[in-house]
A and B are shown apart, each in its own frame.
Chain A
Amino acid sequence: MSEVLHAGAVSADASRIAPKTVRMKSFGVGSKPTLLISLATAAALIAIWWGITELAVVPRLFLPTPGEVLKQFNIVLRDGYAGASLGEHLSASLFRIVLAAVIAISLGIPLGLLMGLNRWAKGILDTPIEFYWPLPPLSYLPLMIIWLGIGETSKITLLVLAMFAPICLSAQAGVRSLPIERVNAARSLGASRFRLFLNIVLPTALPEILTGIRIALGVGWSTLVAAELIASNRGIGYMIMSASQFLATDVVFVGIAIIAACAFAFGAAVRLFERVLVPWKGKS
């Protein structure tokens, strides 16, 4: 009896002083946030950049100061660059990327789903996709020009090809992640083939498809500069290439920063979509 009383006294004590909490050591990164570390790293990198230019370790021509880049950004924003305003360059690039993404998504999702569902579709489509998918887009860029000319068609086709494969392959993987129990459960509840596809297969594949789209957009931005090498007179990629010919390093930096910001914004948008459309991801 006295022991019970004693235990009660201890817990009463403990509630007055904040108890020392413990936690099992996690392996790897764990769940602690890394945002502050990342922000500090960004600040440090800019500081190093500033330090190097201040100390004039490398000529300004090769590495402009952060201030100069900012100033150049304002000039480009006001006056444009290489015969077009910044808005025109940006909208030309965005138009290509968005149009290519729309085409790649509307081709990649149905074909990927079909490949996940049908042996013949998989067998036939696997061959060309597995062949071209590992190729760097720059390697077939000359063919695009020869076949499709130097207009918008060749640029957008190049982007579509680069973005199609990750979307198609992820849709296929999404179908394959479908557990047979889920199919059986739906069939025993009276699902028709159409219902099974619409209400079970499609939502099951959705998280993988969104991941595929996120990867595709990343690939798209990295292919954009290559696409805009083809006799362009508009586009952020064109702006960068044109600036490099005049050794206008500060404009190159402005272009890189804009592409980075766009790519980040697209990635964040897809992540937002993921949070809204597939809130269950990673939780079940």
Chain B
Amino acid sequence: MLKVDHASVHFEADDGRIVHALDRVSLDIPDNGFVVALGASGCGKSTLLNAIAGFLPLSDGVITLNGKSVVGPGADRGVVFQKDTLLPWKNVIDNVALGLKFAGIPKLEQHRRSAELLKLVGLADFANAFPYELSGGMRQRVGIARALATEPDILLMDEPFGALDSLTREQMQELLVSVWKKTGKRVFFITHSVEEALFLGTQVIVMSPRPGRIVARFDLDFVNRFAESNDAREIKASPEFTNLREEIRALLHGAHDIRSAAE
């Protein structure tokens, strides 16, 4: 279980003002949970992810993973970034094996495990290619394999498909669902796209800016339905899906009003 308990993050902006990027946010990500954070830019969703990853200390509150307090980055939390962060001087398989190399695992074992993960993300034939020879979608698949290699307890994904074209993006979503189902990892996923959030998440949290906080939570089942039926288009076109999509869109556009009403 990953537990975020009343986490706050305050920055000092360049002009000296204090920015409340995250204000007493609480969140539980259960085993096998796929939690998607949705919101406009500046709502604190990336701040939340950076705090969970350990890149950013909290001003207040606590984050625990399996009861252990998060104090810095570590291989128990795999991160997939929006910008591809593969090392250009290493081929695909050595990029995937990077975390294993840091863990001091022998080369042969590194490659055996990495090859399995490349198969999982459908890149078995590209083990010896270099990142600059791959498309954006393929690079992100390598990024996912790399994050999984150290067998983390949770996968943190910071708008991983944000820079992809919409067709590739949908393929990547379906790939991610199959990876999630096969590995059973917890996932914390950030996106701008309402449709992506609804399709992927077992839970969607909607966030609003200034101060960054969670304004709504939805428990969803679309992703499990997709895993059974394998028909993404049917699910995305269903009235249940489109109605909820519109409801959340309205919520995002009027996030401020709703928040003031709640207070």
Tally chain A residues at the interface, Cβ within 8 Å: 22
Interface string of A170-207 (1 = CB under 8 A from B): 00000000010110111111111001000110010010
Known: A203-B89, A283-B88. A190 touches B53 (CB 8 A): no
B214 to chain A, nearest CB (A): 24
Whether A280 sits at the interface, judged by CB under 8 Å, is yes
Bound together, the chains give a CA A112 to CA B132 distance in angstroms of: 28
B148 to chain A, nearest CB (A): 11
B246 to chain A, nearest CB (A): 34
Known: A184-B73, A186-B98, A189-B102. A179 touches B85 (CB 8 A): yes
Tally chain B residues at the interface, Cβ within 8 Å: 27
Using Cβ atoms and an 8 Å threshold, which residues of chain B touch A190?
A: 74-75, 99, 102-103, 150
Could you say which of B75, B79, B132 contacts A184, with CB atoms under 8 Å apart?
B79
Whether A127 sits at the interface, judged by CB under 8 Å, is no
A280 touches B54 (CB 8 A): no
Contacting residues of chain A (59-78) with chain B, CB-CB under 8 angstroms: none
Could you say which of A181, A186, A188 contacts B83, with CB atoms under 8 Å apart?
A181
Bound together, the chains give a CA A186 to CA B75 distance in angstroms of: 9
Using Cβ atoms and an 8 Å threshold, which residues of chain B touch A206?
A: 89
Whether B78 sits at the interface, judged by CB under 8 Å, is yes
B87 touches A200 (CB 8 A): yes
Bound together, the chains give a CA A283 to CA B86 distance in angstroms of: 13
Known: A181-B81, A181-B83, A195-B102. A188 touches B89 (CB 8 A): no
Using Cβ atoms and an 8 Å threshold, which residues of chain B touch A200?
A: 87
Bound together, the chains give a CA A241 to CA B54 distance in angstroms of: 64
Using Cβ atoms and an 8 Å threshold, which residues of chain A touch B79?
A: 184-185, 188
Bound together, the chains give a CA A185 to CA B130 distance in angstroms of: 18
Whether B39 sits at the interface, judged by CB under 8 Å, is no
Interface string of A248-284 (1 = CB under 8 A from B): 0000000000000000000000000000001110011
Known: A186-B98, A192-B102. A179 touches B132 (CB 8 A): no
Contacting residues of chain A (12-34) with chain B, CB-CB under 8 angstroms: none
Whether B44 sits at the interface, judged by CB under 8 Å, is no
Known: A195-B102, A280-B130, A284-B131. A188 touches B53 (CB 8 A): yes
Using Cβ atoms and an 8 Å threshold, which residues of chain B touch A284?
A: 88, 131-132
Using Cβ atoms and an 8 Å threshold, which residues of chain A touch B150?
A: 189-190
Closest partner residue, chain B, to A184 (CB atom)? B55
Closest partner residue, chain A, to B80 (CB atom)? A185
Using Cβ atoms and an 8 Å threshold, which residues of chain A touch B83?
A: 179, 181
Name, among A191, A199, A284, the residue most crowded by chain B CB atoms within 10 Å (CB to CB): A284
Using Cβ atoms and an 8 Å threshold, which residues of chain B touch A279?
A: 130
Whether B77 sits at the interface, judged by CB under 8 Å, is yes
Contacting residues of chain B (35-71) with chain A, CB-CB under 8 angstroms: 53-55
B86 to chain A, nearest CB (A): 8
Chain A residues within CB distance 8 Å of chain B: 179, 181-182, 184-192, 195, 199-200, 203, 206, 278-280, 283-284
